[in-house]
Structure 1
Amino acid sequence: MKPVRWGILGAAKFARQFMGPAIHAAHGAELVALATSSEEKAADFKAFCPTLKVHTDYEALLADPSIDAIYIPLPNHMHVDWTIKALEAGKHVLCEKPIALQDSDFDRLITARDASGKLAAEAFMIVHHPQWQHARELVQSGEIGALRHISGRFSFDNREDTTNIRNRPETGGGGLRDIGVYVMGSTRFVTGLEGSDVSARVRWENGVDVFADISAKFGDATYSAYVSTRMQPAQEMVFHGEKGLIRMLTPFNARVFGEAVVEFHRTGHVGGGSVHAQRFPMDDHYKSQVEAFGRTVRDGADYPCPLEFSRGTQVMMDGVFEVATDLG
């Protein structure tokens, strides 16, 4: 099997800690090159990939004929332009989320993807994790009966890190774009439905949203979720049906925040009930994402998270920004 040869556009901390090692470890993938002007950051990557080639500017990486695919972990406001540049250079592209800042950006992205004949996708890694595939099967097979309510939360506190791109409006920062994509996109993935009747309340700080409380409907089910970059770290998703309930204890940062566990609660016929907990202690959704990308590039397999799916999440996020009231 010929490996997909990868280059990383920028030496972001996330790429160094998670996606770089995942590309290096993935079956059918080879981490070949990095573009960065920082020798210190390049050394951090070479610590786990000693043969790594280093380019001192981004354009040189895109022009490198030894590279098949580009991973982009740049700040949010740079995603669209560099994804299109990489496609035009004849590379496949996996770009960190959010790949775009508004729905209309997807017109350009999809046009560039189709013109290039290459794969371009947002790095929405959770859909590659078996816990989410299990949850989707439980919901869509009717195991919990009619779905009536969905709730979610995702939070962390980075108020002290004032220079972080998530705290800067000019880099497309804010909690919704960083983690709101998870509570909304995961619900769309599990249900196969789109959010409607959206309402929201948002608290702003220095031009970025630091708390968002979202309400909506997915089909006949009600939905409530909140995200924050100013609260105690927490994450959970719950899908509550007439005959059962699914509770996901570490839905978004498996193996970092904690162990991935999907609890299936079901009431017995004569009272009482049972809880079946399925655990996923070893699965690495970053590595699985790279391997799924490779299967599509090499074999033409369907990719679980095409741009059209990511666009649907962006449409809902745009709706949240449009209708949100200010909490002050």
Structure 2
Amino acid sequence: MQKPVQWGILGASKFALQHMGPAIHAADGARLAGLATSDPTKAAPFQQFCPDISVFHSYDALLADPGIEAVYIPLPNHLHVEWSLKALDAGKHVLCEKPMTMRADEFETLIAKRDQTGLLAAEAYMIVHHPQWQLTRNMIADGAIGKLVHVSGAFSYDNRADTANIRNRAETGGGGLRDIGVYVIGGARYATGQEPISVSGAIRWENDVDVFTEIRAQFPDFTYSAYVSTRMHPHQEMVFHGEGGLIRLTAPFNARVFGEARVELHRPGLEVQVTRFPGDDHYKLQVEAFCRSVRDRADYPCPLEFVRGTQEVIDQVFDTAVSL
């Protein structure tokens, strides 16, 4: 039996506490071994579900520990590249929260460092590990909806009251497009296997942070439209509309949190076939896929090259969008 991959977390973020920490702790082939935080009160909730976790008082101290093999990085967006590179230089595999970079060209440094070290470096783009997305990808490829004509996406929540949140601060790389635009864009790219030919958008700004973004694109075989917002009632949905049918994903980005993940196949005659995924945890599945790649050298389902493609689209939206 293989030894579990020994994981450390850089920073006691709320997301790490609620989602990724428990996922690492529960995942087959993984052990949550360390947490770096200078605040003991932030370490305590992690110790409640993982009593034997070692607490390091600095990020550098955790990276210096030879027993830690992989690190999860949930730091503010503008720190992702810096600490991913430091972790790789320290000999650690890296799973970093999205967006891994602020601009697409920063991926060149990360990819070069990954290749130089021979370590696994990946963005925590968890949806590709969920079976609802894998089923959708296969259904489109198999012609379940005929020729694909249009793809639409939506993702919104309202955090206007949380003024201190890093997502509401320009200096930490906040805003909706970087935070959740990665899902409506990357999801379309993953499910269809196509890349956009042209991209345009419109953005509403508040305090130099994008709070509503409309995205339009032309792909080789279909058109695309989506919006993301941090100032609207919570909603998420992806729709793949073909000549012979339609695929709709419920809770495509926060399965089990937003609601039950379902794939609806709408066919002629108002027939609807529904596949449900009530218990699948894409965070846990992501960690398990990462560990298989580390231990068995299995291909990782979401390499940096794919993630760079999504960031390229985000860059195009920022560079060309009109202001609302």
TM-score, normalising length: structure 1: 0.98
Q: 2: distance between equivalents of 1:128 and 1:218?
A: 24
CA distance, structure 1, for counterparts of residue 235 and residue 159 of structure 2: 13
2:119 matched residue in structure 1: 118
Tell me which of 283, 290, 293 is aligned to 2:290.
Answer: 293
Asked whether 1:314 is paired with 2:311, we answer yes
Deviations 1:133-155 (A, max 9, x none): 00000111111111000001000
CA-to-aligned-CA distance 1:94-133 (integer Å, 9 cap, x gap): 0000000101100110111111110000000000000000
Corresponding position of 1:135: 136
Partner Cα separation in structure 2 for residue 105 and residue 98 of structure 1: 11
Percent of aligned pairs with the same amino acid: 67
- For 1:159, the aligned partner's letter is R
d(CA) in 2 for partners of 1:99, 1:140: 29
Pairing 1:165-204 to 2, within 5 Å after superposition: 165-204=166-205
Q: Who is 2:301 aligned against? A: 304
Partner of 2:213: 212
Question: What is the Cα deviation at residue 273 of structure 1?
Answer: 3.4
1:90-109 map, 5 Å: 90-109=91-110
1:225 equivalenced with 2:222 (yes/no): no
Deviation for aligned residue 1:2: 1.3
Q: CA–CA distance in 2 between the matches of 1:266 and 1:119?
A: 41
Give the structure 2 partner of residue 264 of structure 1.
265
CA distance in 2, matches of 1:215, 1:279: 30
> Helix, strand or coil: the match of 2:49?
coil
**What is aligned with 2:274?**
277
Partner of residue 56, structure 2: 55
Query: Which residue of structure 1 aligns with residue 239 of structure 2?
Result: 238
Q: Tell me, what secondary structure is at the counterpart of 1:66?
A: coil
> What SS is found at the alignment partner of 1:231?
strand
TM alignment of 1:37-52, pairs within 5 A: 37-52=38-53
Residue-by-residue CA offset, 1:68-100 (whole Å, 9 max, x unaligned):
100000000000010000000000000000000
Residues in 1 aligned to 2:237 and 2:42: alpha-carbon distance in whole angstroms: 33
**Residue aligning to 2:322:** 325
Q: Secondary structure at the match of 2:160?
A: coil
Establish whether residue 163 from structure 1 lines up as the match of residue 160 from structure 2: no
Partner of 1:20: 21
Task: Classify the secondary structure of the residue corresponding to 2:87.
Answer: helix
Deviation at 1:188, TM superposition (A): 0.4
CA distance in 1, matches of 2:250, 2:102: 29
Match of 1:9 in 2: 10
**Equivalence for 2:32:** 31
SS in 2 for 1:195: coil
The Cα of 1:197 is off from its aligned counterpart by 1.7
Instruction: List gaps (5 residues or longer) in structure 1.
Output: none
RMSD: 0.6
- 1 CA distance for matches of 2:224 and 2:45? 42
**C-alpha distance in structure 1 between counterparts of 2:309 and 2:284, whole Å:** 25
Give distance in 2, aligned partners of 1:249 and 1:6: 32
Question: What letter corresponds to residue 314 of structure 1 in structure 2?
Answer: Q
Q: Does 1:88 align with 2:85?
A: no
- Shift of residue 196 of structure 1? 2.3
Q: Secondary structure at the match of 2:235?
A: strand
| Residue-by-residue CA offset, 1:36-70 (whole Å, 9 max, x unaligned) | 01111100100100001000000000001110100
The aligned length equals: 323
Q: What is the CA–CA distance in structure 1 between the aligned matches of 2:148 and 2:99, rounded to whole Å?
A: 28
TM-score (norm 2): 0.99
Deviation at 1:195, TM superposition (A): 1.6
Residue 305 of structure 1 aligns with an amino acid whose one-letter code is C
Q: Deviations over 1:6-53 (max 9, x none)?
A: 000000000000000000000000000000011111001001000010
Give the aligned residue type for 2:301. Answer: P
Q: Which whole-Å CA distance do the structure 1 matches of 2:198 and 2:306 have between them? A: 19
What SS is found at the alignment partner of 1:234?
strand
For 2:37, give the aligned amino acid.
Answer: T
Distance 2:52 2:287 in 1: 19
- Pairing 1:151–2:152 present: yes
